[in-house]
Chains A and B, each alone.
Chain A
């Protein structure tokens, strides 16, 4: 399964046999021992692994060695003879553009791209171009200045003097009292165009509510104390959704249907049955495909019923072995007579939790939305099946057909989905 590749690395021909999953960065670091290329996130955000691929900066963490067959790769170790890089190195040292040095190789490769591709870039443009290279030490002050300096020297036409040794050289003493370096043009940092704010006109003269707690400090419940705004979207797991619908069948019949756990379970899209199956226990598999992600949750569900109140609970849990993520769910239902026994009101509460890597992404602004849609889909299938069961032949019982496998498209049905989505859109909106 290894693949043969031939490429050029820092001007030298290299051939190797590599596993397709080998990141270009790991190929450079572990196979060629070019460790100047650093890994900082492995998802394309931090920029520490930036190298030059066919003459342009690229992430070596989300490129794979096998895809670079025939390519020309240049790492930080391949710029020793490069004049622009020499100028940048000199300027980086002079402007204190590095501290721990970890982001520096990727930063220099991006900086070189800025200087050569955008020879007239101003400070604002430089900052924007640097957005894909994170530095945690310097606050970017020295980095931006160093790039400005090299651009200025190059546009002056004066060939800048490059000192070969940066060690021990002294920086002119003027710099530290105050930043005297004037930014030639203060860039318009308003990225929003010209909003004619409507809110601005509403400047009512009101003051923040100020509480004067009476008595002891323990009275924490004192009203009026400004509270932090719960800013993050509701991330409450155990998302519960309530749905209510009426069906034109007597309670007894509907109650009988809810007693058949397998049929109820199959109302969840993408569910198939496996292994054990009794009226109060089923083993299930739920397959969900979301873009490139395929999750297959295997688990079981158990039912508890209370005939006296015509209510019951189905609890299930399942695990996706690929992602080590688990989900737990609970469906509560309660049936009530309607129309003098001719119909039944069905109250359904559906709740979910998801744990594990698939859950661990933020910005799930649509949790409620998705959960609603999931519950709606379940209820829709439930209604359809109830009608089918009530009116159709008993044969349905013997061979319940699963609801269409979920292929996140026309109907998006999973709580895990919104988490993944938040992640995907954040990371991959490219």
Chain B
């Protein structure tokens, strides 16, 4: 299992990367940590003509703190978040999420931006960042735009990114001191894909009570008003929500997603 031949470029700046992408007419693939793309290349499932390695772009490794939020460059690794090398403005949620992605050797290379762009419904950041009302910072030939993460993933393995755009980073609002969260991920083995992900966030100072159902078949399902989960678990309404998230037809999936939400809520109130 060796990849088909591909060309390789490692641009030094965003403009260079965008230019390469624009000139590739869809046959190029951006690679950051390569932990998702690598297996697909090896299995010959992905056969791009050009791989654009964006790890050489300084801006993608930057962290900046501004206006009640923090911006993480796309190439920040899961391990850096897990280890607290990056300031955690989510009262431990992001550290917990990062620490449970795949395996350490993968977390050392895998990046938050790469994971978002890969848009795997079962991926952790894809599921949890919408809970935090994060935003995606996108660079393209026409400059920069910002999209709510909630709308960044449009479906499984599909995002709002145009073929010549690059995700520069994610903006994460800071939680207030009174904020509480509960997160639950069910997988058959540590490091395996999640069968269900649920997370609940209550931040009264910012008037937030949100929940998310992740590891769906498509984009994660955000519950804007999650009081029926956070305050007295309303099992019937949760069931309806699970159905609405598109994971309720199969009894097994219905059960595990329902349970995941229940346990996330329990942890919230622990």
Contacts and interface: CB of A to CB of B under 8 A. Distances in A.
B119 interface: yes
Nearest to B4: A21
Nearest to B36: A428
Interface string A48-64: 00100100111101111
A242 B142 CA distance: 46
A172 B45 CA distance: 52
Interface in B91-117: 101-110, 115
Interface stretch (B63-71, B132-140, B188-196): B188-196
Contacts of B121: 421, 425
B242 to A, nearest CB: 14
Interface in A46-96: 47, 50, 53, 56-59, 61-64, 66-67, 69
Contact of A42 (B42, B107, B109): B42
Interface string A192-206: 111110000000000
A20 B130 CA distance: 35
Given A421-B156, A430-B101, A292 B5 contact: no
Interface in B22-61: 29, 31, 34-48, 51, 53, 55
A44 B35 contact: yes
A20 B6 contact: yes
Given A357-B43, A408-B155, A429-B194, A233 B34 contact: no
Interface in B247-261: 249-250, 252-253, 259
A174 to B, nearest CB: 32
Interface SS of B by simple majority = loop
A342 interface: no
Interface residues of A, number: 69
Contact of B8 (A26, A66, A409): A66
A61 B42 contact: yes
Interface residues of B, number: 75
A424 B157 CA distance: 9
A281 to B, nearest CB: 30
A1 B78 contact: no
A292 B259 contact: no
B103 A1 contact: no
Nearest to A294: B47
Given A21-B6, A58-B109, A291 B42 contact: no
B217 interface: yes
Contacts of A195: 259, 262-263, 266
B215 interface: yes
Interface in A164-207: 192-196
Interface of A: 1, 3, 19-21, 23, 26, 42-45, 47, 50, 53, 56-59, 61-64, 66-67, 69, 110, 113, 128-129, 131-133, 192-196, 233, 290-294, 322-323, 357-358, 363, 365-366, 368-370, 407-412, 420-421, 423-430
Given A291-B120, A421-B121, 16 more contacts: A20-B7, A21-B3, A21-B5, A42-B39, A42-B42, A53-B109, A58-B109, A64-B8, A128-B190, A322-B47, A425-B120, A425-B122, A427-B193, A429-B193, A430-B106, A430-B120
Nearest first, the 7 closest Cβ-Cβ pairs linking A and B are A132-B103, A62-B38, A291-B157, A20-B8, A409-B158, A425-B122, A43-B39
Interface of B: 1-8, 10, 29, 31, 34-48, 51, 53, 55, 78-79, 101-110, 115, 118-124, 154-158, 184, 189-194, 215, 217-218, 246, 249-250, 252-253, 259, 262-263, 266-267, 270
